[in-house]
Structure 1
Amino acid sequence: MTIPRGRMLIGSLWLAAILVLLLLLSFSLLPQDGARDCQNSWHPCLPFFQMTDRQVEEAESSPKPNSQDCPGQSFQVWRLLLHLRASQAANQDILLEPYLQSWEELIRFMESLGAVVGFFSQKVKDKVAKIRELSLEHGRENSGRSSPDAPQNGAYYSIGSMVEAELKAGVVSFTHPSQSGCRTVLRLHRSLQWLTLLLRGLAEGANEEGEYRTPGELCRQAYQVALAPYHPWYVRQAAELVFVSLPERALFLQLVCVESQEEATPILHTLIHTLEETHTRTQHILQTHRLLELP
């Protein structure tokens, strides 16, 4: 049986659209154990970052849903909260190493949602690795110029210090894509909003009929707000194929180690509040330096 050429062309176009979605979404989307080190990370810690005893004590004493691992899964919500809170500096800046550790935990969350969503995680890992590589390169170029006893002087110690250092060095382009930490953080920043909106939807109650919106519907709505404005038409259309592949709400409850929506809601509210604080601080830093629309 001969397949009509027109049907083959349509099939090829759909396949191309799916591949483009997986590639381009992963560039714009979206972790490691412990607040003191990152020995289990895919890449080494930023060499100059070391939490003070006070920072560790404050992060570990902050309220969290459960300080124990949820058995049988790699993503742990309490560990994500620990890293997020550790990243929030007293001067409204974001410390870069615990911020990257937060993303590594979010990658574990994404990979738990299935193969299609998990595909995105590799490019997110690449973004985390890119920032670490930039910090190492900067450290080699400036070896011996600053005191090792003053890690707060490192260019990649925080998002704020990174932005100022890269703008001063002229490595950030406002006209074409550049391999800068600023552009990489901007892409992660948009994805953080996407995930936050998704979680906010999952924390919502049921409608008048007692029904909850599906994760696919919530993901679609969050995507339209946070990421769709930066994607071309054909990617937005192909994204619909990803939304229908998301698992049922029960898996999301399992990931935060609860059995019911009532148990999940306060945990999600705590997580959402912490994510929003991180997003607000990053937004302010990027907006102050006019970096929100980098190509």
Structure 2
Amino acid sequence: MGVKSKAAAAILILLLFLGSLWLQGGLDYHWDSCLKGYNQVNKLNQLSNSSGANGAEVSQVLEGCPGQTFQVPLLLSHLLAAPAYTSDVLLQPYLSSWDELVKFMDALGPMVGLISKEIESKTTIIRQLALAAEDGPEAELSPDVHPIHSASTEAGTKNSLEASQHTSAYHSVRSMIAVELNQGVVDFHHQTDSGCRTLLRLHRALLWLQLFLEKLAETPVAGRLRSPSDLCREAYQSTLANHHTWIVRRAAELAFIAMPERGFFFRLVCVQNQEELSVVLNRVVQAIGEVYDRTQKALEENGMLELP
């Protein structure tokens, strides 16, 4: 085998290793987008001035991007539907938000796509736990946790199923925490597939994506925009890298090298320039921040920020 073949094989092995270990201590178990850009200046201005908009209003403000899987209006609608009551997060829109974020990562290429597969495995765990709990005992909920009898008003069998999944113990972050503590399935010393531990891994990954998108939305410094690769690396180093082994951090660096250039993100979100991209991403970052902060508070109050 020649030198080039050996190098290619080594890179492939390393990427596969990254896919399975990307979120060690986090998720540790293991371009052709919208070609026809269009001007959304007026709609983006509406979006930037409507921070209190609900999911339906956001869908009216931002149009979908034809010809691609990831749709930023859909992501926003799920994120805005997730916060509930004073400090809770509904799991159905939370997991649906991750469905869109997985599409976003898949669009960045196969190297980052490997990471999204691990995230999908975690959302699947929580959904399966929700289904299994439908016939189980109800949790003794705290005063801030409210039972929900309808988590979705959208039509369709799939949405009805997803709604039914979260009308019981696993309808929200706090109700899931309550029932799993009550049933003793959260282990504070050993790795398990509990919903709380799985949520913590998703929670850490969400902070990484939030920071990356926030950096991607930044205005130029001295007239120069930094590369998405550098920005994603910085976001990683200050978030997920804190929970990873040395080898996983090195593998992550390799994945960032293949990050698309900034023009790709214009097409992915269907905008024409950095100013428009900033408006859209800042709204997404704001919505993610609300969900993240509520989840952080719930996990912290129950001593779950360092679950093994």
TM-score by length of 1: 0.80
Partner of 1:85: 80
Partner of 2:265: 252
Letter in 1 for 2:277: A
Equivalences for residues 107-146 of structure 1 within 5 A:
107-142=102-137
Q: Does 1:228 align with 2:241?
A: yes
8 A Cα contact 2:56 2:77, kept in partner: no
Equivalences for residues 86-105 of structure 1 within 5 A:
86-105=81-100
Partner of 2:193: 179
Letter in 2 for 1:85: L
Letter in 1 for 2:193: Q
Partner of 2:216: 202
Q: Does 1:164 align with 2:178?
A: yes
- Structure 1 gap segments, 5+ residues each: 31-57
Q: Does 1:73 align with 2:68?
A: yes
Higher relative contact order (CA 8 A, sep 6+): 2
Identify if the C-alpha distance between structure 1 residues 24 and 204 changes in structure 2 by more than 3 Å, giving closer, same or farther: same
8 A Cα contact 2:186 2:194, kept in partner: yes
Q: Does 1:188 align with 2:202?
A: yes
Identify if the C-alpha distance between structure 1 residues 14 and 72 changes in structure 2 by more than 3 Å, giving closer, same or farther: closer
Partner of 1:45: none
Aligned partners of 1:257, 1:11: CA distance in 2, in Å?
Answer: 34
SS in 1 for 2:88: coil
Aligned partners of 1:77, 1:257: CA distance in 2, in Å?
Answer: 9
Aligned partners of 1:133, 1:161: CA distance in 2, in Å?
Answer: 16
8 A Cα contact 2:90 2:172, kept in partner: yes
Partner of 1:21: 18
- 2:293 pairs with one of 280, 283, 288: 280
Identify if the C-alpha distance between structure 1 residues 200 and 65 changes in structure 2 by more than 3 Å, giving closer, same or farther: farther
Partner of 2:31: none
Q: 1:168, CA displacement in angstroms?
A: 1.1
Aligned residues: CA RMSD: 2.7
Determine what percentage of the aligned residue pairs are the same residue.
44
TM-score by length of 2: 0.77
SS in 1 for 2:238: helix
8 A Cα contact 1:65 1:267, kept in partner: no
8 A Cα contact 2:55 2:78, kept in partner: no
Q: Does 1:265 align with 2:282?
A: no
Partner of 1:155: 169
Q: 1:263, CA displacement in angstroms?
A: 1.2
Q: 1:116, CA displacement in angstroms?
A: 0.9
8 A Cα contact 1:17 1:235, kept in partner: no
Q: 1:254, CA displacement in angstroms?
A: 1.3
Partner of 1:44: none
Q: 1:17, CA displacement in angstroms?
A: 4.1
Aligned partners of 2:224, 2:83: CA distance in 1, in Å?
Answer: 37
Partner of 2:43: none
Partner of 1:38: none
Identify if the C-alpha distance between structure 1 residues 2 and 193 changes in structure 2 by more than 3 Å, giving closer, same or farther: closer
Aligned partners of 2:58, 2:132: CA distance in 1, in Å?
Answer: 37
- Structure 2 gap segments, 5+ residues each: 29-52, 139-146, 151-165
Q: 1:14, CA displacement in angstroms?
A: 6.5
Aligned partners of 1:60, 1:2: CA distance in 2, in Å?
Answer: 55
Q: 1:136, CA displacement in angstroms?
A: 1.0
The size of the alignment, in residue pairs, is 259
